[in-house]
Amino acid sequence: MHVIAVLNQKGGAGKTTIATHLARALQLAGDDVLLVDSDPQGSARDWAAVREDQPVPVVGIDRPTIDRDLKSIARKDFVVIDGAPQAADLAVSAIKAASFILIPVQPSPYDIWATADLVELVKQRIEVTDGKLQAAFVVSRAIKNTKIGAEVSDALEDYGLPILEARITQRVSYPSTAASGTTVLDTEPDGDAAREIRALMRELKGKLN
């Protein structure tokens, strides 16, 4: 069972968008998936509840017992954790549970600086697990053809974690699908947004396998 934790302790990085879309992409690829909402605000649970025939199973574990609680859940191919912002104890629990930490970062100096504490926690866990835990940044909410979007990779390299080639760009389709409890993979399966989500999924699978 692969556990992908989507974490960033700064709000607004696009964690829930990435977590919900990644879970749906894996499901559409034929995998048995569970989405875990670890944010006390319950954004992923709210997303799931909007749609009556919601295909993505979502559970809430918003206490620092994620690593223990997942052991009692029926085995899945993938568990995707939507991380909580500004909650160090929840982040530590999600890091302990995870086989891969995905850190979405907006192309902004403030967002890049704000990841420092999380990166330190992740690196400590990588050391404890003798490198079994993997981690990488994904550039999120990037605005196409802007200089800052190109510069973000250079800035993140100082942290010493890989940066995925897949990028999630700023698009109206993401929040509009969230409002209906669905994803761009359902509404525009052949569109650019769906392609970038599938590219992210494939890159993650490649690293995990």
> pLDDT tens, 76-97?
999 999 998 876 888 899 999 9
Provide the pLDDT confidence category of residue 72 given band limits of 50, 70 and 90.
Answer: confident
Task: Give me the pLDDT at residue 146, please.
Answer: 66
Percent of the chain with pLDDT over 90: 69
Instruction: Find the mean pLDDT for residues 158-179.
Output: 92
Cβ contacts of 43-50, under 8 Å, gap ≥ 24: 43/16, 43/82, 44/16, 44/19, 44/20, 44/82, 47/16, 47/20, 47/178, 47/181, 48/181, 49/181, 50/179, 50/180, 50/181
Task: Give me the pLDDT at residue 154, please.
Answer: 79
C-alpha atoms less than 13 angstroms from C-alpha of 42 in its C-beta half-sphere: 7
How many structural domains are present in the chain? 1
Instruction: Find the mean pLDDT for residues 166-170.
Output: 92
DSSP for the chain?
-EEEEE--SSTTSSHHHHHHHHHHHHHHTT--EEEEE--TT-HHHHHHHH-TT--S-EEE--STTHHHHGGGSPP-SEEEEEPPTT-HHHHHHHHHH-SEEEEEE-SSHHHHHHTHHHHHHHHHHHHHTTT-SEEEEEEEEEPTT-HHHHHHHHHHGGG-S-EEEEEEE--THHHHHHTTT--HHHH-TTSHHHHHHHHHHHHHHHHH-
10, pLDDT greater than 90: no
Return the CATH number at 165.
3.40.50.300
> pLDDT tens, 41-52?
999 999 999 999
What lies within 8 Å, CB to CB, of 184 at 6+ separation is 21, 171, 173, 174, 177, 191, 193, 194, 197
Give the residue numbers spanning the domain of 94: 2-208
Average pLDDT, whole number, for the chain? Answer: 91
> pLDDT tens, 101-156?
999 998 888 888 888 889 999 999 999 999 899 999 999 887 776 666 667 777 88
Model pTM?
Answer: 0.94
Is the backbone of residue 186 left (phi > 0), alpha (psi -120 to 50) or beta? alpha
